[in-house]
Structure 1
Amino acid sequence: MVNEHPKHIIAVSAYVTNDNGEVLLVKTHWRSDTWEAPGGQVEVGEPLDEAVYREILEETGIVVRPLGITGIYYNVTKHILSVIFKAEYVSGELKIQPEEIKEAKFVKLTEINIEQFITRPHMRSRTLDAMKSVNFIPYETWEVSPYNLLGRLE
């Protein structure tokens, strides 16, 4: 048996709220049956909080400030580890990246109406966790030669 290194995709997304308490949702071309939190794949060597900032800016034109991690989820079928953040709107107007995003909008999302928007159960579960979260999982970015703490969210 050959010893193989595990290969997983790491993805990030964020539950982003604006000053009106509305949540930023996107609809992608390849999952057009559901709305979802914006996000995408983390690039090699990229800190997770920077990845979620970059992905949301690229996809929607919105600048966010990641506040913390609300959950970590694993898709065993596609080998995707998803890290979900809560983030706040900082600036920008909605301007979608048409190659990836069909639509984007801010929605008054509640536990009662969530199924009208987020139709996939695993995405709904993450969104509800983020919606209800008041505490965050600590997250640190380090360089280790020499040891240098680059950032921390908690």
Structure 2
Amino acid sequence: MTATGVYAPPRAIVSVTAYITNEDGEVLLVRNLHRGDTYEMPGGQVENHESILDAVKREVKEETGAEVTIEGITGIYQNVSSHVLCVAFRGTYTGGELRPQEGETAEVGFFDLNRENIDTYIKREHFQLRTLDAMDPHYFPHALYKVRPYELISRYDGNAPSALSGQN
């Protein structure tokens, strides 16, 4: 026992999702097999020892086949009933052939999504909120780093999408 008590590791799950647009301004959406009642932005769980930037690019690629660049974080959402913390990003489609992920996504595509028609596609309120926040983004500062010794991997100040430095 230490002075602060017995340490128990956190049980929260970190997930990522992304609002991805193509050159026509359409939004990349998926229909997951286990949530067939709604479309949603692609995303999933961050794996051990993976950065959130690597995770969001990996999850988008796995679920849709799309390769993307990431511009910034548009929101952070916490589901306290299931201990999930979701980081939402905004980015741009750069290539890849769209296709569903076997066993996970039933449908993948770009849609002409806007504030007036969002409920036609996205039926769940918490998915709508994330998407609406990403439509007119206000980017959050964030940094990726290592410690012992300290090494800054990348830093984004939140002011302009081009401010993301050190991104692979």
TM-score band w.r.t. shorter chain: over 0.9
- Where structure 2 has 5 or more consecutive residues not aligned to the other structure, the ranges are 159-168
| TM-score w.r.t. length of structure 2 | 0.87
User: What RMSD over aligned residues (CA atoms) do the two structures have, in Å?
Assistant: 1.3
User: Which whole-Å deviations, capped at 9, do the CAs of 1:96-135 have from their partners, x for residues lacking one?
Assistant: 21211010110000100000000000110110000121x3
Q: For structure 1, list consecutive stretches of 5 or more residues without a partner in the other structure.
A: none
Q: Partners of 1:89 and 1:98 in 2: how far apart? A: 21
TM (norm. structure 1) is 0.95
SS of residue matched to 1:86: strand
**Corresponding residue for residue 152 of structure 2:** 149
Aligned residues: 153
Instruction: Report percent identity of matched pairs.
Output: 47
Partner of 2:26: 22
1:67 corresponds to = 71
Question: Is residue 86 from structure 1 mapped to residue 84 from structure 2 by the alignment?
Answer: no
Structure 2 Cα separation of the partners of residues 96 and 139 of structure 1: 31
| 2: CA distance, partners of 1:105 / 1:152 | 31
Please state if 1:102 is matched with 2:106: yes
| Larger relative contact order (Cα-Cα within 8 Å, sequence gap ≥ 6) | 1
Indicate which of 6, 11, 31 corresponds to 1:7.
11
Per the TM alignment, residue 6 of structure 1 is displaced from its structure 2 partner at its CA by 2.4
- 94-103 or 108-117, which deviates more: 94-103
The higher radius of gyration belongs to: 2
